[in-house]
Chains A and B, each alone.
Chain A
Amino acid sequence: MALAAAVAGAHSALAAAANALAADRAAHARTLRAELHRVHPDPVPASAPQPAPPVVPPPVSPDPAAAKAALTQAMRAAQDEAAALVLTLPGYRAALLASVAACCATHTALLT
């Protein structure tokens, strides 16, 4: 998660929480990508690989409290997004998203 990485770089007091959060969110992204690939194998013909878009670090407030609040807000939004999908997806994917939502809640708990 780019915001978490940026916060970790800008605020040493938040680094441990932000790095842990970034690691868990990266695991979510990897697993969800793999699951999408399992359901829809090779949606794009194997042509020349697309170049990765440049990663622009999101702006981070110089105020640690504001940076922490932004991270918390992002986690709450991610939890809500995953939780909404839990109610509509088929079993295995719903369970996966349920774990993602629960994980986001654990990070919110650590930040607040």
Chain B
Amino acid sequence: MTLPRPSGPHPDMSPCRDGEAGGRVPVAALQGALAAEHAAVWVYGVAGAFVSSALTRRLDEAATAHQARRDATERLLLDAGVTPAPPEPGYLSPEPVTDAASALRLVITAETDAAGAWRSVVERSPNDPDLRGAALEALTAAAVRATRWRVIAGTVPLTVPFPGAP
């Protein structure tokens, strides 16, 4: 997991409207997904400095996908009358990123975190097929990217049976 440097409230501690009567948007789960997208955007920025230029296009595509997901999630929260959580001022990588191998491990971690966060949105959006569909799409995209990075990193197994599961 990519840990935010300690500061500000953790997404789980923000006001939770999940399950509130009339509230259709699972705010805590969406803020969690937004936090994962902020972290992923940061991670891809860091990784770009360590991987070979042959992978630059793939990294850029992944970063663009996370930026788009981040922006869409912010819009969803704003539309629900909720202030989207900003990115953390800094992030702690679980291990120092010093070369291509550790950079790839970090992006796989970021995709794994994103898959987990979007799976939570699926779980907590029972009355909103549109949001569920979008969350499923985000979970699937993160899982596929994680698998593609594992291929490049030579990490086995290449797949997990339940992407996003805790």
Q: Give residues in A with beta carbon < 8 Å to B.
A: 20-21, 23-24, 27-28, 31, 83, 86-87, 90-92, 94-96, 98-103, 105-107, 109-110
Contact = CB atoms under 8 A, between A and B. Distances in A.
A110 B161 contact: no
Contacts of A106: 143-144, 146-147, 158-159, 163
Contacts of A98: 119, 122, 135-136, 139-140, 164
Nearest to A27: B161
Interface stretch (B44-52, B65-73, B84-92, B124-132): B124-132
A105 B123 contact: no
A78 B161 CA distance: 13
B148 interface: yes
Nearest to B165: A99
Among A94, A98, A103, chain B packs the most CB atoms within 10 A around the CB of A98
B139 A99 contact: yes
Contacts of A23: 161
A86 B132 contact: yes
Contacts of A90: 126
A84 to B, nearest CB: 10
Interface residues of B, number: 30
Nearest to B151: A110
Contacts, number: 90
Given A90-B126, A105-B144, 7 more contacts: A28-B161, A87-B133, A94-B126, A95-B165, A98-B139, A106-B163, A109-B147
Given A20-B157, A91-B124, A102 B140 contact: yes
Contacts of A99: 119, 139, 161-165
Nearest to B156: A20
A87 B129 contact: yes
B159 A103 contact: yes
Contacts of B119: 95, 98-99
A100 B162 contact: yes
B160 interface: yes
A92 B162 CA distance: 13
B164 A91 contact: no
